[in-house]
Amino acid sequence: MNGTFSERVGEINDILCAVNALQWDARVMMPSGGAETRGHQIATLKAMARRLLLSSETGKVAEEALETGSSENERNAAKTVIAARDWHSKIPAALLREQDETSVVAGEAWAEARAKGDFALFKPYLAKVVSLSRQMAEAIGYDDHPYDPLIAIYEPGETAASLSTLFDALRSGMKPILEAALARPAPRTDFLYRSYPVEKQKALSAELARLLGLDMSRSRLDTAVHPFEISFTRQDVRITSRWNPNYLPMSMFGTMHETGHALYEQGVDPALTRSVHTSDLIGLYAVGGSSFGMHESQSRLFENHIGRSPAFWALHFSKLKDYFSDQLSDVSEDEFVAAINRTEPGLIRVEADELTYDLHIMLRVRIEMALMDGSLSVDDVPAAWNAAMHEDLGLDVPDDGLGCLQDVHWSSGYMGSFPTYTIGNITAAQLMAHFDKTRPELRRAANVGDLVPLRSALGETVWRHGRSRNRRQVLADIGADTGDCRPYLDYLSEKFRLTTR
């Protein structure tokens, strides 16, 4: 690779890695009083990275690398830089700084409001986030809906219209599956709510991450109010979880989810680490990997297709009972598997079962779209949320903490990111359907505890490419289409209506 281009990309990357370190600290260790100054620090570093990105020297070496690059990796890296320069040239620096500064103080306000179940404490910050998001949309430009340029940040190629079409098809297809699942006798679940010491949960979660294949010499597990994964390089990928002493699945499946993200980051081809991936230029406004949806496909795959499968617990239920022998002394393996795969509408997205999970996402997306086009005011968010929860899931929301305040995303300024969770579910099913058809030995190996073949296949198909191939390209390689939810509906139908995988 051209030395000057590589050095310039490396400088930008190093600054963005420092930003990620500050963001990780803000969510995991920083005292609440540090929020305002931390916001300034993050904004300053991002502004430095942006100036380097937009400098004439970066433009010159990127164009040279595009024209004379000695490898496809180098040319792809140049395309990434040029695209990032084009995007950032449209956005006023002051707007980006205001977004960065707002996200940290809004995060602290959200945490307090969530704990107290009081939307009024967060309302002015959400109003600011919505206003800044609208300004961002106007700066980028759009033809049809102000939500479109925000979606493109996280999931290029999707629009409000394409998502509406996809979600309508998914909702229609899910309805009979959900009705059938709810008509069956509910499994026993009382044991999930017993007292589970937090320290043992932490030890179990770390072991589950290792079982799924996470290289802990390049990772660590910490505690956060809202679990997340963040990477500095493929050599330093952090995950977090949260611990409810009276509800075991939260930590287990939260950890498996974040481990899926981390495996993706750790699996990027080292040859890309000073070009496409680790440069992470899109990290100025998103995360690593080809898109949020592609990333979520990996977290949902390991959380659900692997982590909730009967085969996984046939191998590891005895290990779980070693950690919690008293709590699970009267519980059989079959009862445990049935409980963690139950269909039971609930208030909290991150605790939702597989069938109702996407209803949570689609609810949030409708609210985001309405906030962006002005058909819903910030004042009316709690009422709109509560009405949708009642209509979609038949639930009454007791307070805002269990309602519209439950997720951190809006405080972080991630308006437009929620659709990617359902996109991830759809993509995970497409990948597994492809493997089941073309490489059935992968599931056979996984069923006896060997996840190496599956990780290798995902590494070859998805992980190694980093940012060099987008979701559309990855799916095209396996003969799948981004707008096809049929493999996901087939998976859900087989699991919840006809039989259990």
In a domain, 331, yes or no: yes
> What is the C-alpha end-to-end distance of the chain, expressed in Å?
47
The residue from 86, 116, 143 where one domain ends is: 143
Q: With contact defined as beta carbons under 8 Å apart, do 425 and 300 qualify?
A: yes
- Residues 82 and 170 placed together within one structural domain of the fold: no
Q: Residue 10: how many CA atoms within 13 Å on its side-chain side?
A: 9
pLDDT given at position 2: 56
Beta strands per DSSP E along 412-495: none
Domain boundary among 91, 113, 143: 143
Residue written as tokens 């490898």? 71
Shared domain for 130 and 192, answered yes or no, is no
Q: Do 237 and 359 lie in a common domain?
A: yes
What residues are paired with 431 via a beta bridge?
Answer: none
pLDDT surpassing 70 at residue 192:
yes
Q: Output the CA torsion 376→381→383→384 (10° steps).
A: 60
More reliable by pLDDT, 69 or 313: 313
**Residue 277 is assigned to a ligand binding site:** no
When pLDDT is cut at 50, 70 and 90, the band that residue 171 belongs to is very high
Of residues 96 and 428, more confidently modeled: 428
pLDDT of 262 higher than 60:
yes
How does pLDDT run across 393-411, given as a tens digit for each residue?
Answer: 999 999 999 999 999 889 9
Residue 175 burial (10 A CB sphere; 0-12, 13-18, 19+): exposed
Token pair for residue 410?
A: 């809006």
Query: What tokens appear for 458 in the block?
Result: 């995902």
Print the SS3 string covering 318-342.
Answer: HHHHHHCCCCCCCCCHHHHHHHHCC
Q: For residue 151, is it within any domain?
A: no
| Residue 71 pLDDT level (bands cut at 50, 70, 90) | confident
Q: What separation in angstroms does the CA of 110 have from each of 42, 226, 397, 479?
A: 19, 11, 18, 42
Distances (CA, A) of 444 to 22, 377, 440, 441: 42, 51, 7, 5
Q: Is residue 154 part of a domain?
A: no
Residue 286 has pLDDT above 60, yes or no: no
Residue 340 has pLDDT above 80, yes or no: yes
Structure tokens at 441: 């030995």
Average pLDDT of 79-98?
89
Q: What is the pLDDT of residues 270-281, one digit of tens each?
A: 776 544 333 344
- The count of structural domains within the chain is 2
Place of tokens 């519980």: 331
- In angstroms, rounded to a whole number, what is the distance separating the alpha carbons of residues 417 and 424? 11
Q: Which domain holds residue 368?
A: 160-498
Domain harbouring 386, CATH code: 1.10.1370.30
Q: How far apart are CA 125 and CA 102, in angstroms?
A: 8
pLDDT exceeds 70 at position 283: no
Sorted by sequence, the CB contacts under 8 Å of residue 29 that are 6+ apart come out as none
**CA gap 243, 41 in Å, rounded:** 30
Question: Is 296 among the annotated ligand-binding positions?
Answer: yes
Q: Are residues 220 and 308 in the same domain?
A: yes
Flag the least confident range among 16-20, 115-119, 169-173, 448-452.
Answer: 16-20
Instruction: Say how many C-beta atoms besides its own lie within 10 A of residue 446's C-beta.
Output: 21
Q: Is 261 annotated as a binding residue?
A: yes
Together in a domain, 276 and 367? yes
Average pLDDT over residues 145-159: 94
Q: Which of 118, 143, 168 is the last residue of a domain?
A: 143
Of 32-36, 106-110, 322-326, 496-500, the least confident: 496-500
Rounded to an integer, the average pLDDT of 310-314 is 97
In a domain, 410, yes or no: yes
In a domain, 149, yes or no: no
* Sign of the CA dihedral with 80 first, then 142, 474, and 349 last: positive
155 inside domain = no
User: Quick check: is 53 in a domain?
Assistant: yes
Same domain assignment for residues 186 and 320:
yes
136 with 169, same domain?
no
Q: Is the pLDDT of residue 499 over 90?
A: no
**pLDDT at res. 273:** 56
Question: Mean pLDDT of all residues in the chain?
Answer: 91
For the entire predicted model, the pTM comes to: 0.90
Residue 97 has pLDDT above 50, yes or no: yes
Mean pLDDT of 35-44: 89
Q: What's the chain's Rg over C-alpha atoms?
A: 22
Percent share of the chain, pLDDT over 90:
77
Same domain, 270 and 398: yes
Is it the case that residue 300 has pLDDT exceeding 70?
yes
Question: Could you give the CA distance from residue 435 to residue 430 in angstroms, rounded to a whole number?
Answer: 9
Q: In sequence order, which ranges of 55-197 are alpha helices (DSSP H)?
A: 56-68, 72-89, 93-116, 123-140, 148-154, 160-183
Instruction: Just list the catalytic residues.
Output: 258
Evaluate whether 367 touches 381 at the Cβ level (below 8 Å): yes
pLDDT in the model for residue 501: 38
The reply to whether 91 and 193 lie within a common domain is no
The verdict on 246 and 129 lying in the same domain is no
pLDDT of residue 75: 84
In this predicted model, what pLDDT tens digit does every residue of 201-214 receive, in sequence order? Answer: 999 999 999 999 99
Residues 180, 77 share a domain: no
Task: Please indicate, yes or no, if residue 152 is contained in any of the structural domains.
Answer: no
- Enumerate residues 6+ apart whose C-beta is below 8 A from 6: 274, 275
237 in the same domain as 306: yes
Residue 239 contacts residue 259 (beta carbons within 8 Å): yes
Task: Please give the pLDDT value at position 279.
Answer: 36
